[in-house]
Amino acid sequence: MALRFITAEEAASFVQHNDNVGFGGFTPAGCPKVVPHAIAERARREHEAGREFKIGVFTGASTGDRLDGELARAEAVKFRTPYQSNKDLRNQINAREVSYFDIHLSHLAQELRYGFYGPIDVAIVEAADVTEDGRIVPTTGVGLLPTVCRLAERIIVELNDKHPKEICGIHDIAEPLDPPHRKDMPVYKPSDRVGKPYVQVDPAKIVGVVRTSEPNDDSGFTPLDDVTLAIGNNVAKFLVQEMKSGRIPADFLPLQSGVGNVANAVLGALGDNEEIPAFEVYTEVIQDAVIGLMKKGRVKFASGCSLSVSREVIRDIYSQLDFFKDKILLRPNEYSNNPEIVRRLGVITINTALEADIFGNVNSTHVTGTKMMNGLGGSGDFTRNGYISIFTTPSTAKGGKISAFVPMVSHADHNEHSVKVIISEYGIADLRGKSPIERARTIIDNCVHPDYRPLLNEYLDRGIAGHTPQDLTACFAFHRALIEKGDMRLTDWKEYPQK
């Protein structure tokens, strides 16, 4: 069947009000660009004509501004899942104008197949190549691509010539069978392939192919500062200690590292530390630092769900595709984040907390317990199943007015049973095998900013009985001081008389 080439506007006409739309890609990498823009324009026209037009948006993770941002600004999003990081969409989520559902990234594909969220009407995916017999070669991000293509009634392909067709071979595309027929997912080392280098779809469902030449949004990083550098060095120091003590095998274990500046700095520090042998990466987001380390021979292989790299780095990869092609593998997030595989491989997981409490619970998502930041992402997939799960965080935020360490987290994403190690720029708190009070002392002594250590020690000294000395009449005193006085340092325990 011949492919039908159409404009982005024509493609948008295949999307109806109330449709559930599944997008390929993961972070801005591999996300469709021109069709979401056309859908946003269509929504604006419909709204001007007095008609409703909103869609459900299902993605691999965050997307580019041309997807989440454009649709949000056109007030075209009814429902959104999972992770997002766009300012305009975030504002609408926090104003409750968009119904947002946060879920572990590895769960979404299977739960779509289980029918938990209704049908997928349309799949919109970016491709480096598409053939008449329905083979789609993704670009730099995979995400939900195979699942939404199989479930959708209609498929729209953005064929993006910014990505060479020769990228074919970098992907490993598979979908597991669903219970009760699921078998093991046979990834025994990061480089194992279990699927095909392309997505096979029913060609009759491809309603149109839109040609584009749009680069991914640039994911540039802010330069390393003293704090991120110190966190990175502390992570490297901890892992070297673990290796020397024999708790990590001498040939090391695969690493997962979250998204953002801190994560990028951590990887850079690990790569530069010659006491750590060249290592492999089993992660979801392959960032700039990994590619730099690959060129130096410090990273041997990287399996992920997306190449979320700057434009400069993607140009570098494409100019040396022969070098990189057998060192990088991109999988659907159902595989890159899969608990079974993460636990089998013994992945060392490193994610960033917004805040942690002194007993080891972590908040990754909600600012002061109410405002959604980005979402859980893959942090839960990896933390719960990692060989050692590490959380990193600067000890303070907003110029010291906020302590990242509080008596009780204002929202819990990862609990004390899953969080093994916390690291700030001040040091390392190894929580393994420690009681709640021991964990609290370790975190205060090693990770907390000196401004906040006396306040947290005083909290522990309030004489609360029980296994976990949490004072339910005072545990949110830091948050209250922030809300009422604008600074957690102004917490005054005299306002909380001991009973």
The whole-angstrom separation of Cα 151 and Cα 467 is 49
Q: Select the span of 51-59, 119-127, 256-264, 415-423 touching ligand 0RQ (CB under 6 A).
A: 256-264
Instruction: Find the part of the chain contacting ligand 0RQ (CB under 6 A) among 1-9, 66-74, 175-183, 348-356.
Output: 348-356
Q: What is the rounded end-to-end Cα distance, in angstroms, of the chain? A: 78
**Is 266 annotated among the ligand-binding residues?**
no
The piece of 4-12, 236-244, 245-253, 350-358 that touches ligand 0RQ (CB under 6 A) is: 350-358
Residue among 139 and 228 whose Cβ is closer to ligand 0RQ? 228
Distance, CA of 438 to CA of 444 (rounded, Å): 10
What token pair was written down for 48? 């001007």
Residue tagged active-site, from 284, 334, 355, 425: 284
Give the pairing of strands 135-138 and 122-130. antiparallel
The type of residue at 338 is N
Question: Of 110-169, which residues contact ligand 0RQ (CB under 6 A)?
Answer: none
Does 194 sit near ligand 0RQ (CB under 6 A)?
A: no
Does residue 106 touch ligand 0RQ according to CB under 6 A? Answer: no
By CB under 6 A, which span of 114-122, 124-132, 315-323, 371-379 interacts with ligand 0RQ?
Answer: 371-379
374 binds ligand 0RQ (CB under 6 A): yes
Quick count: other Cβ atoms within 10 Å of Cβ 152? 24
Q: How far apart are CA 427 and CA 447, in angstroms?
A: 5
Q: Does 378 belong to an annotated binding site?
A: yes
Q: Is 385 annotated as a binding residue?
A: no
The residue whose Cβ lies closest to ligand 0RQ is 377
Annotated binding residue at 187?
no
Does 102 participate in binding ligand 0RQ (rule CB under 6 A)? no
Q: Is 55 in the site for ligand 0RQ (CB under 6 A)?
A: no
CA pair distance 76, 348, nearest whole angstrom: 39
Shortest Å distance, C-beta 27 to ligand 0RQ = 6
E strands within 131-237? 135-138, 154-160, 199-200, 206-212
Coil, helix or strand for 210? strand
Single residue of 98, 342, 404, 488 touching ligand 0RQ by CB under 6 A: 404
- Residues 110/142, Cβ–Cβ less than 8 Å: no
Helical residues (DSSP H) of 327-426, grouped into ranges: 333-336, 339-345, 379-383
Examine the residue annotation and report whether 284 is marked as an active-site residue of this protein. yes
Number of residues that bind ligand 0RQ (CB under 6 A): 29
For 179-195, b/e burial (b = at least 16 CB within 10 A) is eeeeeebebeebbebbb
Dump strand ranges (E) for 24-176. 55-58, 77-81, 99-100, 122-130, 135-138, 154-160
Of the pair 20, 379, the CB lying nearest ligand 0RQ is at 379
Exactly one of 86, 379, 442, 470 binds ligand 0RQ (CB under 6 A); that residue is 379
Contact call for residue 377 and ligand 0RQ (CB under 6 A): yes
From the CB of 437, what's the least distance to ligand 0RQ, in Å?
Answer: 23
Q: Which residues touch 461 (CB under 8 Å, ≥6 apart)? A: none
447: number of Cβ within 10 Å: 25
Does position 373 interact with ligand 0RQ (CB under 6 A)? The reply is: yes
- Interface stretch with ligand 0RQ, choices 136-144, 233-241, 347-355, 466-474 (CB under 6 A): 347-355
The verdict on whether residue 346 carries a ligand-binding annotation is no
Beta bridge partners of 301: 280
User: What is the smallest separation between the CB atom of 369 and ligand 0RQ, expressed in angstroms?
Assistant: 10
Q: Largest Cα–Cα distance in the chain?
A: 78
SS3 307: strand
Q: Which residues are catalytic?
A: 284
Residues making up the annotated binding site for CoA are 258-262, 374, 378, 398
Residues forming the site for ligand 0RQ (CB under 6 A): 27, 61-62, 83, 105, 258-262, 284-285, 351-352, 354-355, 364, 367, 373-374, 376-379, 394, 397-398, 402, 404
Which residues make up each annotated binding site? Answer: 258-262, 374, 378, 398
